[in-house]
């Protein structure tokens, strides 16, 4: 009898050791990323415990089979509701698969058990945000009670405040986050946009350039840098940054237009013409600004015939475009020989805009030139007589 019992104990011990060895092998396979092989070993176990279901779920999640992962997380929790890690991962997986209500309910239960866990409040914030519940921001605020420098919660709150134009609050929140983690690119970007929106262009440039140095260059970043440099009248830097945009997206009509205007300011009319024509070709928006810019380019190149054509096109798009009407008169004055034709263009401008408050400078110039032309016409008629 004693001998038989010893044999039985040895057999059970060997079986237990073999079982533990198989689990260790499965765990090792999971650790090196051989998820399916690990799952095969887990599933060979004679009894699938709650923890084995959890491990299968994690392996399925790692290999991207989310539906099977959900099944095994549910089985794990059905066997043992106290598995916190399984519950938290299951809740996050429900969020990823857009089951926001179920996920929120699960984290609500977890908060009852662990009321000081910041991550659980953060997950409730995410779910309520997706459910368009105003409580979302309250949950993000609660995160900060237990983790004052929680990067993701700070960002969520800062974005909300940015949308509500609470720029000083955004500035404070971004500094809290960046003091803790200077490499938080999302918060750096928000900080730069916060400066840009307030027209603090030099500060915006500093942060955008920092992001660029960190390898975060993008079409959005270079475009904002281009506009910022333009606002502080650093036109060459603006051009450099806008050209980076064109490398990324050659079809950005808005940036081609800006490049055309900048090259005009630097008197590089050939480059201006190239980019303005591209802007015109690509644009799906009202074309009056494109036509006017091209008109100005050809005027400065002294190609008055083309300038007249584009100013007329601009006025067809927008008859109230003051500068196009005035520049049309100037171009016509330089192109046509007949004095009365030249005068007619200035008189047309004065007829349309003489009393317009924004046309005052152009009106003074047009009146002077019209008077000069009238004198020339008078003397010309006198000679004929």
pLDDT (tens digit, 9 = 90+) per residue, 181-193?
999 999 999 999 9
Half-sphere exposure of 55 (CA within 13 A, CB side): 26
| Residues of the chain below pLDDT 50 | 3, 5, 7-18
**Apex 35 CA angle, 33 and 37, nearest 5:** 115
Residues 6+ apart with CB under 8 A from 19: 45, 46
**Structure token digits, residue 286:** 């009202």
**Structure token digits, residue 192:** 């730069």
3-state DSSP: the chain helix, strand, coil percent, rounded to 5?
80, 0, 20
**Structure token digits, residue 138:** 């309250």
The whole-angstrom separation of Cα 118 and Cα 133 is 19
The whole-angstrom separation of Cα 167 and Cα 182 is 20
**Structure token digits, residue 18:** 């073999």
- Report pLDDT for 22: 72
The whole-angstrom separation of Cα 334 and Cα 311 is 14
Cα dist. 174→22, 129, 235 in Å? 49, 21, 30
133 φ, ψ to 5°? -100, 130
- Report pLDDT for 2: 55
Question: DSSP per residue over 138-194, as a string?
Answer: HHHHHHHHH-TT-HHHHHHHHHHHHHTT-HHHHHHHHHHHHHH-TT-HHHHHHHHHH
Instruction: Name the residue among 77, 30, 88 with its Cα closest to residue 49.
Output: 77
Handedness of CA 236, 242, 248, 250 (dihedral sign): negative
How many C-beta neighbours within 10 Å does residue 372 have?
13
The three-class DSSP label of residue 116 is coil
Instruction: Name the residue among 132, 181, 134, 128 with its Cα closest to residue 155.
Output: 181
The whole-angstrom separation of Cα 5 and Cα 11 is 10
Instruction: Name the residue among 264, 202, 218, 207 with its Cα closest to residue 239.
Output: 264
């Amino acid at each position: 009898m004693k001998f038989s019992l010893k044999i039985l104990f040895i057999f059970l011990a060997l079986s237990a050791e073999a079982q533990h060895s198989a689990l260790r092998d499965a765990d090792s396979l999971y650790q090196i990323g051989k998820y399916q092989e690990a799952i095969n070993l887990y599933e060979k176990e004679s009894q699938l415990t709650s923890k084995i279901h959890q491990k299968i779920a994690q392996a399925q999640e790692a290999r991207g089979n989310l539906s099977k992962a959900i099944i095994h997380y549910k089985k794990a929790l059905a066997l043992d509701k106290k598995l916190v890690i399984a519950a938290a991962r299951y809740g996050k997986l429900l969020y990823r698969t857009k089951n926001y209500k179920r996920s929120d309910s699960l984290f609500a239960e977890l908060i009852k058990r662990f009321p000081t866990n910041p991550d659980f409040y953060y997950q409730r914030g995410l779910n309520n945000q997706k459910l368009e519940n105003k409580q979302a921001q309250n949950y993000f605020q609660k995160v900060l009670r237990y983790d004052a420098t929680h990067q993701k919660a700070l960002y969520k709150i800062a974005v909300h405040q940015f949308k509500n134009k609470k720029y000083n609050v955004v500035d404070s929140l971004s500094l809290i986050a960046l003091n803790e983690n200077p490499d938080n690119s999302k918060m750096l970007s928000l900080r730069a946009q916060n400066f840009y929106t307030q027209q603090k262009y030099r500060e915006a440039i500093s942060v955008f350039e920092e992001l660029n140095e960190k390898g975060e260059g993008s079409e959005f970043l270079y475009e904002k840098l281009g506009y910022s440099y333009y606002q502080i009248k650093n036109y060459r830097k603006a051009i450099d940054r806008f050209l980076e945009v064109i490398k990324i997206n050659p079809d950005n009509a808005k940036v081609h237009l800006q490049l055309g205007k900048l090259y005009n300011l630097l008197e590089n009319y050939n480059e201006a013409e190239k980019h303005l024509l591209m802007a015109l070709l690509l644009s799906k928006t009202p074309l009056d600004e494109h036509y006017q810019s091209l008109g100005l380019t050809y005027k400065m190149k002294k190609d008055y015939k083309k300038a007249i054509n584009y100013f007329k096109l601009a006025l067809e798009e927008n008859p109230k475009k003051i500068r196009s009407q005035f520049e049309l008169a100037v171009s016509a004055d330089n192109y046509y020989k007949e004095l009365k034709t030249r005068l007619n263009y200035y008189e047309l401008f004065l007829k349309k805009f003489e009393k317009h408050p924004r046309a005052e400078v152009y009106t003074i110039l047009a009146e002077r030139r019209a008077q000069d032309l009238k004198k020339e016409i008078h003397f010309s008629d006198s000679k004929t007589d």
